[in-house]
Structure 1
Amino acid sequence: MSERIRRGMLIKNTGSEAVEVSMSSRRLHLNPGEASFITAEEVRDSTLRVALQERSIAIVRPATSAEDEALSERLDDQ
């Protein structure tokens, strides 16, 4: 069986207040209605998963391969 290919996600702050998620890789600040891409590795971060369960943020859709690559390059440059 082949290994599952994991992809990043587009997430969005669905609440009426700003949300800050301190993941092991970076700190993510989202204003109300703001969206951001996260990497495949960040999808598995426990802090992010708690925020998803609390519904302070929501997954909008999986990232495309091009979006995954662009985000990885941008994070590498930081």
Structure 2
Amino acid sequence: MMQFLIEAIMISISGGLIGALRGITTTKLITHFMYWPTLITQSSVVLSFLVCFVTGVFFGYYPALKASRLNPIEAL
């Protein structure tokens, strides 16, 4: 079960980091090329990362619990 939970957490963290970096980069590009004023707050970045993390853990827990109850030979 820990292996599946760790995998879900790592995927969530990497997805959150990639999403936050892409969002910040896109916002900077919009400001630079289109001259639209944009604002990136630390709280919005932290909130989006937290939502990504919680969603990944929440939806990774049930499959991890289910997989941990299976016999590996029967699962194969």
Q: Please report the TM-score for the alignment, with normalisation by the length of structure 2.
A: 0.27
More strand by share: 1
More helix by share: 2
